[in-house]
Amino acid sequence: MSRVFRETRRDMTVRDRWNSDWRNDRRYDWRRYRDYNRSLFYLGSYYDPFGYGYNRFQIGWSLWPSYYGQNYWINDPWQYRLPPAYGPYRWVRYWDDALLVNVYTGEVVDVLYSFFW
């Protein structure tokens, strides 16, 4: 692998890194929004792709691709007052949690526990 490619890859990784400061931005006050729009956050039953029970995933953990397939994506994050996911990131539903996942690596980048009802 050439040095130029590694530097470009590293620069791209730094540029595309997720910034969790969004939690300090009032536009994304999902808790207050959920209090006034309770039915929106009730999505019904969750079906685990492997039939397993709940596991509390944390930032830095890696998921199997089945957990962040398109059928688990939160297609409109703004509908729930979440920041937009860009680049390799997607918000996904996992049980009642909202996970931000890098869909290239499966790494959990951000977590909101008990997000849905």
The CATH number assigned to the domain holding 63 equals: 3.10.450.160
Supply the pLDDT for residue 72.
Answer: 97
Whether 91 is covered by a domain: the verdict is yes
Question: Both tokens of residue 61?
Answer: 């953990």
- Looking at the 3D structure of the chain, how many domains does it have? 1
Whether 86 is covered by a domain: the verdict is yes
Supply the pLDDT for residue 117.
Answer: 86
Whether 84 is covered by a domain: the verdict is yes
pTM: 0.77
Whether 78 is covered by a domain: the verdict is yes
C-alpha Rg value of the chain to the nearest Å: 16
60 φψ region: left (φ > 0), alpha (ψ -120 to 50), beta (else): left
Supply the pLDDT for residue 21.
Answer: 65
Sequential pLDDT tens for the chain (117 residues): 434 333 334 434 534 566 666 666 666 677 788 889 989 899 899 999 999 999 999 999 999 999 999 999 999 999 999 999 989 999 999 999 999 999 999 999 999 999 998
Whether 75 is covered by a domain: the verdict is yes
Question: Both tokens of residue 41?
Answer: 């956050």
Q: Which residues on adjacent β-strands are paired with residue 101?
A: 90, 108
Q: Residue 106 belongs to what domain range? A: 3-112
Whether 117 is covered by a domain: the verdict is no
